[in-house]
Amino acid sequence: MPDLGKYADAVLSSYALSLLLIFALVGWAVVRSRKARAALEETEQRIKNRG
Amino acid sequence: MSIWQYANPKKFMETTGPLLPWIGAASLTCIVTGLVWGFFFTPDDYRQGSTVKIIYLHVPSALMAINAWFMMLVASLIWLIRRHHVSALAAKAAAPVGATMTVIALITGAIWGQPMWGTWWAWDPRLTSFLVLFLFYLGYMALWGAIENDDTAADLTSILCLVGSVFAVLSRYAVNFWNQGLHQGASLSLDKEENVSDVFYYPLLVSIGGFILLFVFLVFLGTHTEIRARRTRALLARERMS
């Protein structure tokens, strides 16, 4: 760990908040993608079964 | 072979789907490399001290915040002129990514500004235009969510995107337009005298590359999601009518 001196709080909080937001964005996008895929597959299957 | 063949949702998904894991992996590699290199293996700046390490997050996110809006502008123009649904959906998918990048740029800028400028915030031209750009992102997403008809939503959000582009341009060039405010000039410049020192420049470039790839990854993934959601809505509507 580098010596960040008196600005350690500023640097570390910048990294923590930014990475948190990036992880949240990627997680949200992946979950939404899976839900949309599942919803489409379920709808197509239902229509197919009904003929 | 024409670029417009990718306006076909099926063709778009077939082409970009297999690329997604590769773009995601490349993005992760570049971001981790850029941030680890910048955080652990670069020296402190003689004036800014260790706060210079914030540059590896602030500059790439600010760059993407502005360029995401320009990408949305191009996609919106394609929708308005050629009525290709994929372009409207790609613009819609880019908005949350751009908004998040704007928040990261604003937060990291404020955290950096407090020890360097002595204030978290100033009504400086660049900071203010960035805040307005963020509000445009929120308005753009709210408009998409508020209108049920996809085509009408795409029309109105495209117009909003054209209007908001003024602030995207202002965000980019505010420091050149007004010789006032706290924000310094661009960190990256073709002029070697103005550019950041090489020791900070190369990890910054890697980090920027990672953010660009992350943006592409998230826009492709989000466009796939929107195409599937649109197809589901169309099937459900057809089902209700039959």
Q: What is the pLDDT of residue B23?
A: 98
From B228's Cα to the closest Cα of chain A, the distance in A is 6
The residue among B229, B43, B193 whose CA lies nearest residue A4 is B43
Question: What is the ipTM for the molecules in this complex?
Answer: 0.94
Residue B43 backbone class (left: φ over 0; alpha: ψ -120 to 50; beta: rest)? beta
Q: Assess contact for B137 and B113: CB atoms under 8 A.
A: no
Residue B45's DSSP bridge partners are B49
Q: What is the pLDDT of residues B52-70, one digit of tens each?
A: 999 999 999 999 999 999 9
Q: What is the pLDDT of residues B103-124, one digit of tens each?
A: 999 999 999 999 998 999 988 8
Q: What is the pLDDT of residue B217?
A: 98
- Name every chain A residue with its beta carbon within 8 A of the beta carbon of B226: 36
From A27's Cα to the closest Cα of chain B, the distance in A is 10
First to last CA, chain A: 63
The answer to whether residue B179 scores a pLDDT higher than 70 is: no
* B69: Cβ contacts below 8 Å, ≥ 6 apart: B98, B133, B136, B137, B161, B164, B165, B168
Q: Which phi and psi (to 5°) does residue B214 adopt?
A: -60, -40
Q: What is the pLDDT of residues B11-24, one digit of tens each?
A: 999 999 999 999 99
Indicate the average pLDDT of chain B.
90
Residue of B nearest to A38 (CA): B228
Taken in order B10, B11, B14, B18, the sign of the CA dihedral is: negative
Measured distance CA(A39)–CA(B106) in Å, rounded = 36
State the DSSP code for A39: H
Residue of B nearest to A40 (CA): B232
Q: What is the pLDDT of residues A6-48, one digit of tens each?
A: 999 999 999 999 999 999 999 999 999 999 999 999 999 998 8
Residue of A nearest to B36 (CA): A1
Q: What type of residue is A34?
A: R
**More confidently predicted of B24 and B125:** B24
- Per-residue pLDDT, averaged over B160-178, amounts to 79
**Angstrom distances, CA of residue B85 to CA of B74, B94, B139, B195:** 13, 14, 21, 41
The answer to whether residue B236 scores a pLDDT higher than 60 is: yes
Q: Which pair of tokens denotes residue B188?
A: 């990256």
CB atoms inside a 10 Å sphere around CB B181: 15
SS (H, E, C) chain B: CCHHHHHCHHHHHHHHCCCHHHHHHHHHHHHHHHHHHHHHHCCCECCCEHHHHHHHHHHHHHHHHHHHHHHHHHHHHHHHHHCCHHHHHHHHHHHHHHHHHHHHHHHHHHHHHHHHHCCCCCCCHHHHHHHHHHHHHHHHHHHHHHCCCHHHHHHHHHHHHHHHHHHHHHHHHHHHHCCCCCCCCCCCCCCCCCCCCHHHHHHHHHHHHHHHHHHHHHHHHHHHHHHHHHHHHHHHHHHHHC
Q: Do B96 and A6 touch (CB under 8 A)?
A: no
